[in-house]
Chains A and B, each alone.
Chain A
Amino acid sequence: MSAKILIVAEHDGTRLNVSTAKCVSCARAVAGAEITVVVCAAAAAPLAAQAAQIAGVARVLTVENPANAHALAAVLAPQLAALAAPFNLILGPSTTFGKDLMARIAGLLGAPQVSDIMALESATRFRRPIYAGNAILTVEADGAARVVGTVRMASFEAAGGGGAAAIEKAAVSAELPTHTRFISVSAAKSDRPDLQTAAKVISGGRALGSAEGFRILYSLADKIGAAVGASRAAVDAGFAPNEMQVGQTGKIIAPELYVAIGISGAIQHLTGIKDARTIVAINKDGEAPIFEVADFGLVGDLFQIIPEIEKLV
């Protein structure tokens, strides 16, 4: 019997998030899996069309409802739980959207959830990091009828395009609560690449000293087409907004190039960058733990080094 896998699409109302194609890659690790993507939205058609193009997707289900205009877990979970019956595995991305939502679905189903799947060995056997990535655990769902999972974004490449899946409207009858209401979201608009998908990321730590100090990073980032990240210390101090935080409690990223500037390299920070292809560390303390994971280390004062680099690139 081939595994039936349902993937919950993430989107902003007009564009599908790349996390959806990464979940598809994860699901494709199960040989012969039948992959369905479900799009919950106020207007699902344009999003469904994008999902149908992802290679490996057999079917796209749409659930349209004005209440789905904003991704509220309490509103989405009952609709998705109502669709879950035919599926063995229900996956969503391990982004704040997916982490918030999938566990609520698991709760409604009484199903076990596997968080942060980094490898899928079968439809019931998974590998995932625990203790901030300091141990890797293999878990097996023993005879559970249904398993819910969130997919660790840094572990999978997005599935390609070229698919042509059938699109169907799903009929869902679930009572939707009104006890949770969306008020607003403040997203700083930026022309820089998205931190989670950028090929190059430059991150700054406490050493930058101020929001002003971060300007030298923005300037270098713009010159080389990089996204900018930050350590928790830098975010806590108000030098950078929270969505820039990299690490255990921020974003887990896997760029080709990661440059850590004035960041000491606490384990909670390193968790977020373990999968980066090349790590560069610039720090005035030659003993800083960041150098233990850096492919290239440069000891010195960042305020002198960064402008030099900018001139050379």
Chain B
Amino acid sequence: MKRILVGIKRVVDFNVRIRVKPDGTGVVTDGVKMSVNPFDEIALEEALRIKERGGAAEVVVATVGPADCQQQLRSALAMGADRALHVQADGIIEPLVAARALLKLIEREQPFLVILGKQAIDDDNGQTGQVLAALWNRPQATYASKLELVGEGTARVTREVDAGLETLEVDLPAVITTDLRLNEPRYVKLPDIMKAKKKPLDTLTLAALGVEQRQQLKLVKFEPPLQRQKGVRVKDAAELVEQLKKKGLL
């Protein structure tokens, strides 16, 4: 069956104002709204559109993390994914561990396309897709703003790079990571949330997949960023130009 695998990460919602805990051990997450990483919603939307165009038969979403992550898998099922896989794991999951677990799922599910977000907006690592592609020894096309399947075995991907837009051709299977302009994710309708409750959600463990939960980077301390000094208001263009000239900026 032609299948697409989409990675889903549970993160603090992008609208939440992040606060660092006073003891520096982390950021405040108690009672904070959690969501699907926005880039992963885009990944799922792209997979669903490919399926709706007849390019795939099934969309499977997967997450590696603690029990709470099932909420985000349910959201993904409500958006339209067919099935969800939850790899139960506690503690800090580094990109290498997430990628090793995703690779095990790839071996089981044999997707022709794997779509992840370009970065998770909590750790801002931006690594998992590339690490996965390396472990799998398959192509990667990161920061995708356009994805076209060409014939049976290849995809053409437009990537947002510093210079502008780059186009790559990759053989499938491949790993794609999404940029914001790839698409605009659909809204979930209430009946879909009800339907999602009946969709299959399988739980596995890292140990059962044969992946070691290993943390290579110790999180020493969290600090709030330096705050900028509040500045002054100027009354008009003339005063602004004068001030900037005084500072040697114009």
Chain A positions near chain B (C-beta within 8 angstroms): 12, 72-74, 77, 95-97, 99-108, 110-116, 125, 129-142, 144, 177, 179-188, 196, 200, 224, 232, 235-236, 241-243, 248-249, 251, 256-257, 267-268, 274, 278-280, 291-300, 305, 308-309, 312-313
Residues A298 and B237 in contact, CB atoms below 8 Å apart: yes
Residues A107 and B133 in contact, CB atoms below 8 Å apart: yes
Residues A299 and B233 in contact, CB atoms below 8 Å apart: yes
Residues A96 and B161 in contact, CB atoms below 8 Å apart: yes
Residues B161 and A184 in contact, CB atoms below 8 Å apart: no
Give the residue of B160, B180, B221, B234 whose beta carbon is less than 8 angstroms from that of A138: B221
Instruction: Determine how close the nearest CB of chain A comes to the CB of B68; give it in whole angstroms.
Output: 18
Instruction: Determine how close the nearest CB of chain B comes to the CB of A227; give it in whole angstroms.
Output: 13
Residues B140 and A296 in contact, CB atoms below 8 Å apart: no
A72 / chain B contacts, CB cutoff of 8 Å: 168
B190 within 8 A of A: no
Residues B95 and A135 in contact, CB atoms below 8 Å apart: no
B91 within 8 A of A: no
Known: A110-B96, A113-B125, A186-B165. A249 touches B218 (CB 8 A): no
- Contact code string B149-166 (vs A, CB < 8 Å = 1, else 0): 000000010011111111
Residues B234 and A297 in contact, CB atoms below 8 Å apart: yes
B221 / chain A contacts, CB cutoff of 8 Å: 137-138
How far is A295 from B231 in the complex, measured between Cα atoms in Å? 4
Residues B240 and A309 in contact, CB atoms below 8 Å apart: yes
- Contact code string B124-164 (vs A, CB < 8 Å = 1, else 0): 11111111111101111111010000000000100111111
Known: A108-B134, A309-B241. A249 touches B161 (CB 8 A): no
B107 / chain A contacts, CB cutoff of 8 Å: none
Tell me if A's interface is mostly helix, strand, loop or mixed: mixed
B169, B174, B234, B237: residue with the most chain A Cβ atoms closer than 10 Å = B237
Residues A313 and B234 in contact, CB atoms below 8 Å apart: no
Chain B positions near chain A (C-beta within 8 angstroms): 12, 14, 17-18, 20, 27, 94-96, 99, 118-119, 121-135, 137-143, 145, 156, 159-171, 174, 179-181, 216-225, 228-238, 240-241, 243-244, 247, 249-250
B223 / chain A contacts, CB cutoff of 8 Å: 135-138
How far is A291 from B128 in the complex, measured between Cα atoms in Å? 36
How far is A103 from B177 in the complex, measured between Cα atoms in Å? 13
B243 / chain A contacts, CB cutoff of 8 Å: 296
Known: A74-B133, A96-B161, A249-B179. A135 touches B20 (CB 8 A): yes
Selected A-B contacts with CB under 8 Å, 6 pairs? A74-B140, A115-B124, A136-B224, A140-B218, A248-B124, A313-B250
Residues A278 and B124 in contact, CB atoms below 8 Å apart: no
B225 / chain A contacts, CB cutoff of 8 Å: 129, 133-136, 274
Known: A135-B20, A187-B163. A99 touches B142 (CB 8 A): yes
How far is A268 from B39 in the complex, measured between Cα atoms in Å? 14
How far is A242 from B223 in the complex, measured between Cα atoms in Å? 32
Give the residue of A107, A224, A248 whose beta carbon is less than 8 angstroms from that of B131: A107
A97, A134, A300, A308: residue with the most chain B Cβ atoms closer than 10 Å = A134
